[in-house]
Structure 1
Amino acid sequence: MPPRSSGYQLRLGPEMTSMVRILLIANAAIFVLQMIVRLAFKSPWIESLFALHPQDVLHGYLWQLVTYSFLHGDIMHLLMNLLTLWMFGSELENQFGSRAFLKFYLFCASMGGLVTLIAAYLGFPQGIVLGASGATFGLLCAYAIIWPNREVLFMLVFPLKTKFFVLILMLMIVFSQGGQIAHMAHLGGILGAFFLMKVYRSWQSQSKQPTWSLSRYLQKRRFQRYQEEMNKRENAKKHVDELLEKISQHGMNSLSRAEKKFLNEASQKYFNE
């Protein structure tokens, strides 16, 4: 895998990472399920439930804001998104960590769905939206922010810096036309990536924090009890020294009953080893 630097590079493809592999398999498996259901039942009922239908979302089908990104219309649609996920997602996962990368990917996908929903609500018909393009455009944006001077093959032919590559894609979103392209989902993915990378920086550090586990909790409790015991010993030693000083100056009878009791208990508990 090429080293991470800000210089020029011509990538042939990174080593596939664990979360990227899971997402690739999930997208491919769901696409196969789509095809099987279409052939078996002669009805795209998976798309009707899980693709993004803006009117359905407004009536409570909120899961479609994410699930649409795991569905695809045809094999080329799937392969292009999977290729982008592999080529750009693997190095981003190495940069972020697997859990943070998954949060990033799903957030960009959901932002693609949300921007699509907003556009439909404002009177711009969106039709039925499906595909991982919102998430993969977010990956492209993040990649361009982290490694702006790396080179990719635009149209698989022309070497182009990633910062210009993403800019061209954004311009294509603004000026291109066509009912079969989910421009708003692409735009939402880019906006989501920009927000996480430039505004909400704590999402990555939070994701790297270890998850709760029983063994870690018990270890922490043992350490707390040990720390409390050490504090008690220190306080007891300090108080015992004060009482011994009092005895040396005024004799044993100068101690109160409570002080004698404390001195006796402390000597047996802390100083009898």
Structure 2
Amino acid sequence: MEPQLKTPRTPIVSILLLINVVAFFLELLAPGFVIRHFALWPLGDVQMMEALPAQMVTGEFHLWQLMTYAFLHGSVLHLFLNMFVLWMFGMPVEGVWGGRVFILYYLVCVVGAAIVQLLVVSAGVQAGAPSLGASGGVFAILMAFGMLYPNQVVLLLFPPIPMKAKYFVVLIGIVQLMMGLSASQTGVAYFAHLAGMVFGLLFIVVFRLRMR
């Protein structure tokens, strides 16, 4: 049975929102240090994208970057879009699962997306550059929402078309796969987005089996 859609108290979502906003201000204060040490770098030293400031020229991969990259963002718009989706879809998901399962789900998907991104860059599918953003976890939340509330109508923004969540999630996944394969935009980690959804699906399947 599909749970009733509601917006209960969701402390984990609130904490994630706060951490991401604080981290963004730290990026503004010390961009070179934060990007060099906490963004997700390909294995080994690489040359940064030309658009980035000179003080960010090189960086190294560290294990903690598999998680910390998800709390950094490249622009105000990047931060706003991810946090908006986290807030809108994360609240009802946390309301059903509870904080412990929700944060475990989110972090597992963030790390899974990071590993896939490293593999994609190592294979030469995408140019070597640091990755940052909560999109892997956010796309995983979309997957969770679609599975918890498959018949809930959501609004596709571009173009503004209402559709059921289960179709919305499938469409988003197809778009990410097509964009990743076509490589129409460099600098966007489409396969990491898709990986977040896949790891989310696997987590939900395993979790349901364990609950049974």
What is the TM-score with the length of structure 1 in the denominator?
0.65
- Taking a change above 3 Å as real, the CA distance of residues 46 and 155 of structure 1, as seen in their structure-2 partners, is same
Structure 2 distance, partners of 1:56, 1:196, is 30
State yes or no: 1:185 paired with 2:185. no
- 2:3 is matched with which residue? 4
C-alpha distance in 1, partners of 2:119/2:108? Answer: 16
3-state DSSP class of the match of 1:153?
strand
Give the structure 1 partner of residue 178 of structure 2: 175
Following superposition, which runs of at least 4 residues in structure 1 exceed 6 angstroms of deviation? none
Question: Residue 30 of structure 2 aligns to a residue in which SS?
Answer: helix
After superposition, give the CA deviation of every residue in 1:23-56 in whole Å (9 maximum; x if it has no partner): 0000001001111224xxxxx2211111111224
More contact order relative to length (CA 8 Å, sep ≥ 6) = 2
Contact 1:152 1:160 (C-alpha < 8 Å) held by counterparts = yes
C-alpha distance after superposition, 1:179-217 (max 9, x if no partner): 1211121011011101111134367x6xxxxxxxxxxxx
**Which amino acid is the alignment partner of residue 126 of structure 2?**
P
Q: Which has the larger radius of gyration?
A: 1
Report the equivalent of 2:88.
87
Unpaired segments ≥5 residues, structure 2: 46-59
Structure-2 change in CA distance of 1:81 and 1:16 (3 Å):
farther
**% same residue:** 34
2:200 maps to amino acid? A
The answer to whether the 8 A contact 2:141-2:200 is kept is yes
Unaligned segments of structure 1, at least 5 residues = 39-43, 206-273
Looking at secondary structure, tell me which structure has more helix per residue: 1
1:55 and 2:43 matched: yes
Change (3 A) 1:167 1:28: same
For residue 196 of structure 1, what is the aligned residue in structure 2?
203
* Alpha-carbon RMSD: 2.2
| Change in CA separation of 1:51 and 1:202 when aligned onto 2, cut-off 3 Å | farther
Partners in 2 of 1:16 and 1:75 — Cα distance? 26
Where 1:55 maps in the other structure, the secondary structure is coil
What secondary structure sits across from 2:150 in the alignment?
Answer: coil
1:201 is paired with a residue of what secondary structure?
helix
TM-score, normalised to structure 2, is 0.82
Number of matched pairs = 190
SS at match of 1:159: strand
Q: Hey, what does 2:162 align to over in structure 1? A: 159
Change (3 A) 1:102 1:194: same
Does the 8 Å CA contact 1:16/1:86 hold for their aligned counterparts? no
Q: 1:73 maps to which residue?
A: 74
